[in-house]
Structure 1
Amino acid sequence: MDLVRHLRYFVTVAEERHFGHAADELGMTQPPLSQGIQRLERQWGVRLFDRGPRGVRLTPAGAALLPAARHVLAGVRDLGDDVSRVAAEVQPVRVALARDVAHAVPDLLTAAAQAVAPIPLVPLVVGTVDAVDHLGSQAVDLAVVVHPAVLDGVEPGPVRTLPRTMAVAAHVPGGVGEPGLPVAMTPRADNPPAHDQTVDALRRAGHDGRVREVRDLAEQRTLAAAGATCVLVPTTAVPAGLRPLPGVDVDLRLRLLRPRLAAADERREAAGAALQEQLDALD
Structure 2
Amino acid sequence: MDLVRHLEYFIAIAHERHFGLAAQRLGIRQPPLSQGLRRLESELGVRLFERDSQSVTVTDAGQALLPAAHRVLDEVEQLRLLARRQDTSVRTRVVIRVTPGMGAGHYAALVAACHRAAPEADVDVTEQASPVQVAELADGTADLGLLREPVVARTLHFGARIDLPLNAVVPGDHPVAGSVPVRLRDLGGSGLLAPPREHAPAAHDDLVATCERHGFLPENVREVTDERAAWGLVASGGYVGLTTEQPGRYGGVDVVPIEGDVLAMAVRLAWLDALSPPAEALPAAIAAALTSHNGHVRSADIHQPRAASELPAHRDAQHVVDGRKPR
- The interval holding the TM-score normalised by the smaller chain is 0.5 to 0.7
User: For residues 235 and 126 of structure 1, do their structure 2 counterparts lie closer, same or farther at Cα, with a shift above 3 Å needed?
Assistant: closer
Structure 2 distance, partners of 1:225, 1:178, is 15
Instruction: Report the residue type matching 1:229 in the other structure.
Output: Y
**Match for 2:229 among 216, 219, 234?**
219
Kept in 1: contact 2:96–2:144 (CA 8 A): yes
Structure 1 distance, partners of 2:131, 2:148, is 9
User: For residues 112 and 165 of structure 1, do their structure 2 counterparts lie closer, same or farther at Cα, with a shift above 3 Å needed?
Assistant: same
Structure 1 distance, partners of 2:262, 2:137, is 31
User: For residues 91 and 202 of structure 1, do their structure 2 counterparts lie closer, same or farther at Cα, with a shift above 3 Å needed?
Assistant: same
For residue 135 of structure 1, what is the aligned residue in structure 2? 137
Structure 2 distance, partners of 1:198, 1:109, is 26
For residue 182 of structure 1, what is the aligned residue in structure 2? 191
For residue 271 of structure 2, what is the aligned residue in structure 1? 258
TM normalised by structure 2 equals: 0.54
Alignment of 1:192 onto 2:201: yes
User: For residues 127 and 255 of structure 1, do their structure 2 counterparts lie closer, same or farther at Cα, with a shift above 3 Å needed?
Assistant: same
Structure 1 distance, partners of 2:186, 2:206, is 19
Structure 1 distance, partners of 2:140, 2:247, is 34
Larger helix fraction of residues? 1
User: For residues 263 and 145 of structure 1, do their structure 2 counterparts lie closer, same or farther at Cα, with a shift above 3 Å needed?
Assistant: closer
**Match for 2:115 among 113, 117, 121?**
113
Kept in 2: contact 1:98–1:128 (CA 8 A): yes
Compute the displacement of 1:172 (Å).
2.6
**Match for 1:270 among 275, 281, 284?**
281
Unaligned runs of 5+ in 2: 1-86, 177-182, 297-327
User: For residues 217 and 178 of structure 1, do their structure 2 counterparts lie closer, same or farther at Cα, with a shift above 3 Å needed?
Assistant: closer
Kindly name which structure, 1 or 2, has the bigger radius of gyration based on alpha carbons.
1
Aligned residues: 196
Compute the displacement of 1:93 (Å).
1.0
Identity of aligned residues (%): 21
Compute the displacement of 1:263 (Å).
5.1
For residue 159 of structure 1, what is the aligned residue in structure 2? 161
Structure 2 distance, partners of 1:184, 1:103, is 17
Kept in 1: contact 2:103–2:244 (CA 8 A): no
Compute the displacement of 1:125 (Å).
0.6
Kept in 2: contact 1:166–1:230 (CA 8 A): yes
Compute the displacement of 1:249 (Å).
3.7
Structure 2 distance, partners of 1:197, 1:138, is 30
Structure 1 distance, partners of 2:263, 2:140, is 32
Unaligned runs of 5+ in 1: 1-85
Kept in 2: contact 1:132–1:152 (CA 8 A): no
Structure 2 distance, partners of 1:122, 1:254, is 19
For residue 244 of structure 1, what is the aligned residue in structure 2? 256
What are the equivalent positions in structure 2 for 1:9-48 lying under 5 Å apart?
Answer: none
Cα-to-partner distance string for 1:91-125 (whole Å, 9 max, x where unaligned): 32110000023656221111012211132211121
User: For residues 94 and 178 of structure 1, do their structure 2 counterparts lie closer, same or farther at Cα, with a shift above 3 Å needed?
Assistant: closer
